Amino acid sequence: MKTETLVSIFGLTKEQEHDLRVVMENPAASDYKDNKIFHLDNQAAQLVLFDPLVMATLPSTSHWKDYDVEDSEDASKKVLLTKEQEQVIFNQFNYARYRVAQLKKIVENGPKKKFIMEMLSWDKKARERKALIVELNLRLVVNIAKKHKMYHLDPDEMYSDAHMGLLAAVDGYDATMGYRFSTYAYWSIVRNLGKMNKERSRREEIVVSQIARGDYDNEDSGENELLIDESRTRPEIAFIDKLKVILEKNKAGLSSQELEVLKIRYLGEGKRPSMASTGEKVGLHSHQVAKVEQSALGKMRVAMLERVRK
């Protein structure tokens, strides 16, 4: 049954409606790593996994928020899990998702409000367990991000990429395998950093190639899309800003004539001047302007690639 139908039938709140859509439409919400404990009677399984004495041994928070500052007071309060605590939390997380998967099948086949509410309750427990695991491993995220820091990336982007790798690791880790989560998460985070950096490098190569070819904007539009396109991502904008610096500070070793042509053509306000009007300003014919520009953009491309690959 469609989510819209369930919402209209049972009169859920906006929050419940949102959570229900996530559970019903996102396969990851009911994806879990199996454990033989889960297949006990539900009451018995919950008694084993959520026993009050067991719960009392688990940390509720890492008390560590300012993870970008190495000497932060919060950093000294970080909580390290024992292997046993780690297994308990992951078993609780995966059992909550296991129950979501069970109840999701029931709701799909013959929905009743009590099953929907129970499913949403277990989904909330799963999200809480995941949030705790993530918080308790923030130091790992920061250490790896700093170790693999790349000069041309925004630190916030690095931490975001590493954090995404950690989230993927939580979903993929199987506590029954016997190895520590940090070992598994390390490689997941590193892989995600490499993947995201490869994607950024690909985008940068495209921008550089466009510069070298001179085909990166539509001259008929009267706008320089490379420099003013508001749809670009923050990494692309930062990359374009570096291009501006190379041009403004002549990091590419341009001749005075090449520098003058590119500044007129690409650093001016409003409509970009045509080859002919640029030629009138620098005392060249339009075909000569095109030749000078092609040479200058070739030098720009070399300079930019050198900066990207350092």
Question: pTM of the predicted model, to two decimals?
Answer: 0.63
DSSP string for residues in 21-54: HHHHH-GGGG-----GGGGS-HHHHHHHHS-HHH
Domains of the chain (ranges; CATH) run 1-59+79-135 (no CATH), 214-309 (1.10.10.10)
**Tens-digit pLDDT profile for residues 133-162:** 988 888 888 888 777 765 455 666 778 788
| 191-247 pLDDT, tens digit each | 888 887 777 667 666 665 565 555 444 443 333 444 444 445 555 566 666 667 777
SS in 3 state form for 124-136?
HHHHHHHHHHHHH
Residue 11: per-residue pLDDT: 75
CB atoms within 10 A of CB 245: 11
Terminal CA-CA length for the chain: 54
**193, 144 Cβ separation under 8 angstroms:** yes
The answer to whether the beta carbons of residues 46 and 52 sit under 8 Å apart is no
Instruction: Give me the mean pLDDT over the 72-97 stretch.
Output: 76
Contact partners, residue 3, CB within 8 Å, separation at least 6: 17, 20, 21, 24, 25
Q: Give the DSSP H or E segment for 292.
A: helix 286-309
Rounded to whole angstroms, how far apart are CA atoms 137 and 147? 16
Instruction: Tell me how far CA of residue 265 lies from CA of 83, 209, 258, in angstroms.
Output: 62, 18, 11
Query: DSSP label at 306?
Result: H
User: Token digits for 180?
Assistant: 């520590």
